[in-house]
Amino acid sequence: LGAGADGEVRVGFHRKTGDKVAMKKMYEHEYLYDTIINESEILEEVAHDNVVNLLGLTCNNQGTFMVMELMDGSLRDVISSRKLGEHDIKAVMRQILERLAWIHAHRIVHQDIKTSNVLVKRDGEKNKFVVKLADFTTARRLQTRPWSNKVGTLTFNAPELLKGATSFGTAIDVWSAGCIFAEMLLGSNPFD
């Protein structure tokens, strides 16, 4: 399905239900255990229909996997495949902001809001997109430890991150959401 800095996502099957699932294989690195624990704890803490559902963790001879609900794709896929109409843009943006408000109310900063981390599912009955936030690998609780400004994706990063700030809050996610809004309107990221 895709790959990022910390792992790759594949389609798998849930052993008990037989349902298709997304399996995020984490790349081996020094902080692998901490990364998995942090992401899984945050996903449990903010569990809601607004956030991709963590179904479990598993380890085998192929690696360590986070098992999550399977979505239809990412907002990046949607933008790449067609132009979004004004109605869709407003509906998607409203959902993104609602989801950010949800995680921010739980004192969580995502730190990597971008079109590839906003997953979509097509609601066939209503002909709408349902969006969920995903990839909480770099997410942090507000001010629980020193922050690194080397987070996120450059073309979605807030100015304070680019200037080297080590103290920041939820505003960086809101800036990134604004970049998503611009990308939906323009068809490409304005900072690419």
Is residue 19 annotated as part of the catalytic site, yes or no?
A: no
In whole angstroms, give the CA distance from residue 64 to residue 120. 25
In whole angstroms, give the CA distance from residue 177 to residue 170. 11
Q: What six digits make up the tokens of 44?
A: 């449990």
184 Cβ contact partners less than 8 Å away, ≥ 6 residues apart: 75, 79, 84, 89, 92, 93
H helices present in the chain, as ranges: 32-45, 75-81, 86-105, 159-162, 171-186
- Helices 86-105 and 171-186 cross at an angle (nearest 10°) of 170
H helices present in 106-170, as ranges: 159-162
- The catalytic position among 6, 49, 112, 173 is 112
The catalytic residues are 112
